[in-house]
A and B are shown apart, each in its own frame.
Chain A
Amino acid sequence: MPLDVQEGSVEAGLDALDTPVNITEGSRVRRIAARVLPPIGAIVVLVAIWQALWAAAFWPEFKLPAPAAVWSQIWQLVTSGDIAELFWVSVHRAVIGFAISLVIAVPLGLAIANITVVRRGIGPLVSGLQSLPSVAWVPAAILWFGLNDRAIYWVVLLGAVPSIANGLVSGLDQVPPILPRVGKALGAGRFGGIRYILLPAALPGFLGGLKQGWAFSWRSLMAAELIATSPELGEGLGQYLHNGMSLSDISMVFAGIVLIFVVGVGIELLVFRPLENTVLRARGLTASAR
């Protein structure tokens, strides 16, 4: 090594030159605007088309309501406070159903991913269940449990469990094999390997499964509420939609659809998207973070 170069300075220079540079573009306001404006624009365009179609009167009023009529339905729910009950009944069911699904799906996914016999035996079954619309379980659930919450939870579980379990399995399958090997070399036992290496490594895939699981549980819940209506069940969004149909009130039906959509998308945007972005960004997978 030349005498005029201090020990370690070559390395420090290399480190400085090699270190990837992170550039954050624009101000905070600008980045948020760039993210929020496109979907708002899309909604504005959609509503404008709807308004134009309504104004052109292609369809009779009882088939296509005016955007303003739907808005006034929603606004009436807001001012009367009924919207809180609608949201509460449906969302708390979906959240409880999702939580129970999680408790069942995680051990199930772990077993499928780690035990060959279980994978061969139950794996295809779970994948198959994922493609079976869970609404198909509604008649059976009503006959088994009657018109009550248990029937509804049964349908939600059959919708969400397969998605979450499959997400966990594919997350575990995509863990690079070098990581468990390194874990073993660092002294991980069977349990330590799962706890400290496999589960964190599978997290991105698992989050994808969770997101899909939420979508399935919300969807199944709405189907169940729409079909299984009874005074004992309280009035959720699905029942509201059903009532709209019974009353032949198209603006009420549209309002129901809009509210179901808002809740489904809202929870994804407020809960799952930020969670996923945090995880991906921490791992340097920012290109896919949105």
Chain B
Amino acid sequence: MTATIETLPDVLSPVRFHQVGKTFGTGRKSVVALDGVDLEVEPGEFVCLLGASGCGKTTLLNLVAGLDQPTAGRIELNSSRPAVVFQEPALMPWLTAAGNVELPLRMAGVPKSQRRAKAAELLELVRLAGLGDKRPHELSGGMRQRVALARALASTADSTDGKPALLLMDEPFSALDAITRDVLQGELLRIWRATGTAILFVTHDVREAVRLGQRVVLLSSRPGRVVQEWDVEDAPGAVDEINTALRKVISSHAA
């Protein structure tokens, strides 16, 4: 499916980085989080951003999400508003699961009956149909993260104007236990295939990156630069190779 889209010449990438840099603070105390990052995500592509702590993965996602501005270069965003899933589900505790999914639609002024239908559809997509009335505290960690995913998808669904959709995920499964994480990784792949959205997925877990992504991009730390990229679709052997590269990046900071 992806291959056929890529051959179309007039399809825009959901997001493209042009020599993007981000520096926090000024003068001698400034910290360079990102430096000269060039990166492109194709429509419908699943890209994993891999890096150790301090590589500016989260900063990079914040820039795409518009939560922060780059200090150098520019980000070309051709998608509707990117959907963001954070490490914590961060559901609104005063709203039900369905209310949380409806929230972005409510803020966009979508009429009630349409909101209801859309929320039910998205909850069904994340296999939570019939649990829309539950409050966040009545759900397990994995279920909450799935509600957060449905909510994020709703935030792009309100502005479908033919532009390619983009889903940003910031280590969304790292706070979950191993079994739940495993199941949710499978679910994410299923949802990705069902929706055809492009995904930019940040993680520090090499196995997770290789299992999920079509392409793995390794970032160095302080400053964050693109070190190397791998096409990992149908290449499970890449884990060892990427691990070695990641270790090299980390050990370069030992001195």
Contact = CB atoms under 8 A, between A and B. Distances in A.
Say if A and B assemble together.
Answer: yes
A101 B140 CA distance: 42
B135 A283 contact: yes
A22 B93 contact: no
Contact of B86 (A10, A182, A188): A182
Contacts of B66: 184-185
B142 interface: yes
Nearest to B143: A15
- Ranked nearest first, the 4 interchain pairs of A and B with the lowest CB-CB distance are A284-B137, A18-B140, A186-B104, A185-B84
Nearest to B96: A282
Contacts of A186: 84, 103-104, 107, 151-152, 155
Contacts, number: 91
Contacts of B1: none
Which of A12, A22, A181, A203 neighbours the largest number of chain B CB atoms within 10 Å of its CB? A181
A279 B141 CA distance: 22
A14 B142 contact: yes
A140 to B, nearest CB: 42
Contacts of A196: 103, 106-107
Contacts of B135: 282-284
Given A18-B142, A20-B138, 16 more contacts: A8-B127, A179-B90, A182-B84, A182-B90, A183-B107, A184-B66, A185-B155, A186-B84, A186-B152, A187-B104, A187-B108, A188-B107, A200-B92, A282-B93, A283-B93, A284-B135
B183 A283 contact: no
B158 interface: yes
A27 B106 CA distance: 39
A187 B152 CA distance: 10
- Chain B: interface size category: 35 or more
B81 A15 contact: no
Contacts of A183: 107
Interface in A19-36: 19-20, 22
B65 A185 contact: yes
Nearest to A286: B137
Interface string B140-162: 11110000000110010010000
B78 to A, nearest CB: 17
A14 B106 contact: no
A192 interface: yes
Nearest to B82: A185
B146 to A, nearest CB: 9
B66 to A, nearest CB: 8
